[in-house]
Amino acid sequence: MEERCGKGGEPVSFQYLNPGRDARFKDRHTTKVDETVSYYEPGETGDIGILGLPLSKTSISLSGASEAPGSIRRALGSYSTYSGEKDKSYEDMKVLDFGDVPVHPTDNEETRKRLKTSVKEMIDTEACSKYVMLGGDHGVSFPSISAFQEKYGRVGVIQWDAHHDLRNVEDGGRTNGTPFRSLIEEGVIHGEDLVQIGIRDFSNAKAYADYARNHNIHTYTMGDVEEKGIHNLTDQVIQILENKCNCIYLSVDMDAVDQAYAPGCPAIGPGGLTARELLSSVSLAAAHPLVKGMDIVEVDPTKDFRDMTSRLAAHVMMRYMYV
């Protein structure tokens, strides 16, 4: 029974009312993932830091991905911290939430500056060993990876995506289709340090496939996934990067997943990864000690069905955290 002070200071007892708290069922033996998350306080340390990058104004297709940081956080409340496959509970893992970066209402370049500054400020706290950035469209990867490069030096990137995201900037400026071209041409990353998994047929232009080849980008199509298997391919990808990079950054575009498993993406399509393939691949990659950061992008809650895509994104986040 909750007891509070009423008018005049007299105690008021409530049998069921609990103002300011969710009225949800609580099993004494179950800890939900969102119960391990608390807002960062200066000087505090934890295991995982998370930051929302709610930019979707640079999307070349209509997108509500700016709402995804909130929807993914809410989805964490649907899952427990116990892994039955590992027979291990992660209820003592401490997740620090650094909040969301306020975007500029009209100036996208100003927003990119804010995103980079905020990611850099977060990792400079050294409060956690690993960080998760919740997009937003894929354009957020340009400022985020730039911040990691300033902190760690040479950064290798594993990108799960149906698209190369190597579009030219002349036709529309920096968009969610240009982040990796921008990173290469700005000298933030080397082409040979970028690995793309899940590139899908009939989803890109020849000019951008040629750009990838000409810049020594390691590109693995869905055909390669089928031929090699996602586990073997992921192991191969790690070996490409581990001996030449100071840090590995994972970038998960949710449209790498088949539309049957991730309907809430602006650019859905058939023939992509299964949910299980993505989760297994992220788990394998995240276990490497050089992995310091990950972004999850292109979740549009306004297009989703029963939060399927946000829930899958929450599982991607959990597979990254619980290794």
Give the residue numbers of the binding site.
138, 161, 163, 165, 253, 255
Helix (H, G, I), strand (E, B) or coil at 65: helix
Instruction: Spell 98-133 as b/e; 16+ CB within 10 A means b.
Output: bebbebeeeebeebbebbbebbbebbebebbebbbb
For the chain, strand residue ranges (E) read 2-5, 11-14, 37-39, 48-53, 82-83, 88-89, 95-100, 130-135, 155-160, 194-199, 218-221, 247-253, 291-297
Output the six-digit token pair for 170.
């002349």
Query: Which is nearest to 222 in space by CA: 238, 206, 242, 202?
Result: 202
Return phi, psi of residue 83, to 5°.
-95, 110
Query: Which is nearest to 166 in space by CA: 147, 142, 149?
Result: 142
Measure the CA–CA gap between 319 and 17, rounded to whole angstroms: 36
**Count of CB atoms situated within 10 Å of the CB of 150:** 15
Query: Which is nearest to 319 in space by CA: 273, 293, 285?
Result: 285
**Binding residue positions for Mn(2+):** 138, 161, 163, 165, 253, 255
